[in-house]
Structure 1
Amino acid sequence: MKEIPLTGGDVTEGLVRVGDTVRRPPGERDELVRAVLLHLESVRFDGAPRFLGVDSAGRQTLSYVEGEVAGRPRPGWIADEDRMISVAQLVRAYDDAVEGFGIPAGLPAPIEPPGLPDLADPPELVGHQDITPENVVFRDGRAYALIDFDLARPVSRAREMVNLMLWWAPLGDDADLDPGFRGLDRPRRCRLIADAYDLSLPDRQRLMELAIGLNERAWHTMKYRTETLGGGWQRMWSEGVGEKITRRQDWLESHADAITTALIA
């Protein structure tokens, strides 16, 4: 059958649609992704693709999820609060569904530089950790499914929320955001996300400290992956992602108190 290239992602290359399936090359956590998707199917969680096997080229074969995705340029609805809230509700449903999967032993170490500081943030479940607009499929104006689980890893619920807010509040300097996201009341949007997810009070209280620590780690990890993996990582670094992360760090530190106040008020 005809292979139709699927574009719009930052790192993974070679994604194609074949009929009602998606074929993608194996990622760095291929076995974990397969196991998570099979678990989600076993617990009847509909908000993720189904893993259908491996094709003759060694590619993952996944079900194609029909719907609307916010590619680039972003659609006019990108900052819609109802859609944002539905993303948080979908992520909560996913986290609840995957919690029973547990934390597998013997997972390969993430590709990141040695010596990063410990964030004292023990994992609770296998989070999605890449909840970008490109990775959420909408139907009838509501988040329906998460796709692209290549960055899935053991994390805390608070860390999952940092990733969600990063892309959907979103977190960062207005100059680095899509025009549709500029000028928004980010503390209010963080509160709406936390409420829709039903985030615990202790996690709300520590969320911004965790966000700042994770953002600092992100700079070192992006640089390390650029140097060791090249490809899409090199392209993003060349396009200035390192400088963007540095500006986000300044923004997080200056807005942390306001966001925390909104989260716990």
Structure 2
Amino acid sequence: MPHDEEQPLAGGNVSAGVVRVGDTVRRPTGPWTPAVHALLTHLHEVGFRAAPRPLGIDEKGREVLTFMPGQVVWPDRFSLLEPARRLARVARLIRDFHDAVQGFTPPPDPHWQVLLPAEGSEIIAHQDLAPWNLVAGPEDEWAFIDWDAAAPGTRLGDVAYAAHGFLPLSADPGRQRADAGDRLRIFADAYGLDEAERRRLVPLLGRRTRAVHDFLREQAALGTQPWATLWAQGHGEVWRSDAAYIEQRADQWEKALLTG
């Protein structure tokens, strides 16, 4: 495309105003943008390449990020994650990010966009590691995008949220997996969870999923967009049903994680 031609980018649920210009992506900024840019700069400096690199602010006041070539996995390319080796690759990519962010020192008085309540602050977590934020690119290059909700959190919180989407753990009969327990074990093994972490992960699977439902419900009551629209479209019920499905099978997840 011509260097200055803007191409709207679709995908995700909150991507309004996101465009591609050449090899860059332009997105609306928020109070959290400086902190997120500091985070992404750190990741690039320590060698983590599965995230866009910030290039500043353009003349229209939009943030400028490097374009991550490829296609978002959700929904049309979700079958890409069917093989166990690719599911394991997602878990290792998350582990690589968590290891890379461990040494990050946020700027003074950072403003993070906190959407979900944190259960700790050991790292700056992505908070939305899901198929709709994974880009599968050429030459098997994968990257996570949409870092605007990055905020203090925990490794296990990110892993629990990611497991819901990538395994998936779903109440939808069309998406339910008879081998969900096996896939959870593969995910935990690839990430490198020890026994204590596996035990702590089990209740987190349901809590993190239910937290999204609660967030959407609260924001819908306030009329906050785009969350109110997502609630009206039924997204809240999906997260509530998935949380119930996960919680009712806690014994199954524990057995899969601890006995294989």
TM-score (norm 1): 0.87
Structure 2 CA distance for aligned equivalents of residues 244 and 80 of structure 1:
25
Structure 2 CA distance for aligned equivalents of residues 220 and 146 of structure 1:
25
Match of 1:60 in 2: 63
Match of 1:225 in 2: 219
Structure 2 CA distance for aligned equivalents of residues 259 and 235 of structure 1:
33
Instruction: Tell me, yes or no, if structure 1 residue 40 matches structure 2 residue 43.
Output: yes
Structure 2 CA distance for aligned equivalents of residues 9 and 109 of structure 1:
20
The structure 1 residue matched to 2:192, chosen from 193, 198, 214, is: 198
How many pairs were matched up? Answer: 256
The structure 2 residue matched to 1:185, chosen from 155, 172, 179, is: 179
Shift of residue 214, structure 1, vs aligned partner:
2.6
Match of 2:236 in 1: 242
Match of 1:172 in 2: 170
Unaligned runs of 5+ in 1: none
Instruction: Tell me, yes or no, if structure 1 residue 95 matches structure 2 residue 98.
Output: yes
Q: CA RMSD in A?
A: 2.3
Q: Percent identity?
A: 34
Whichever residue aligns with residue 97 of structure 2, its letter is Y
SS of the equivalent of 1:61 reads strand
Unaligned runs of 5+ in 2: none
Shift of residue 228, structure 1, vs aligned partner:
3.5
Q: CA 1:219 to 1:90, structure 2 compared with 1: closer, same or farther past 3 Å?
A: same
Structure 2 CA distance for aligned equivalents of residues 216 and 89 of structure 1:
25
Structure 2 CA distance for aligned equivalents of residues 130 and 112 of structure 1:
10
Structure 2 CA distance for aligned equivalents of residues 23 and 110 of structure 1:
19
Moved more, 134-143 or 1-10: 134-143
Tell me if the contact between 1:69 and 1:137 (Cα under 8 Å) persists in the aligned partners.
Answer: yes
Matches within 5 A, 1:1-265: 1-27=4-30, 29-102=32-105, 106-108=109-111, 121-139=119-137, 142=140, 144-175=142-173, 179=174, 181-228=175-222, 230-265=224-259
TM-score (norm 2): 0.89
Structure 2 CA distance for aligned equivalents of residues 209 and 71 of structure 1:
26
Shift of residue 103, structure 1, vs aligned partner:
5.9
SS of the equivalent of 2:136 reads strand
C-alpha distance after superposition, 1:57-79 (max 9, x if no partner): 11110001112321433454343
Whichever residue aligns with residue 243 of structure 1, its letter is E
Structure 1 CA distance for aligned equivalents of residues 161 and 126 of structure 2:
9
Tell me if the contact between 1:112 and 1:225 (Cα under 8 Å) persists in the aligned partners.
Answer: no
Whichever residue aligns with residue 165 of structure 2, its letter is W
Q: CA 1:141 to 1:238, structure 2 compared with 1: closer, same or farther past 3 Å?
A: farther
Structure 2 CA distance for aligned equivalents of residues 80 and 196 of structure 1:
13
Q: CA 1:55 to 1:9, structure 2 compared with 1: closer, same or farther past 3 Å?
A: same
Q: CA 1:184 to 1:56, structure 2 compared with 1: closer, same or farther past 3 Å?
A: farther
Structure 1 CA distance for aligned equivalents of residues 177 and 70 of structure 2:
28
Shift of residue 169, structure 1, vs aligned partner:
1.0
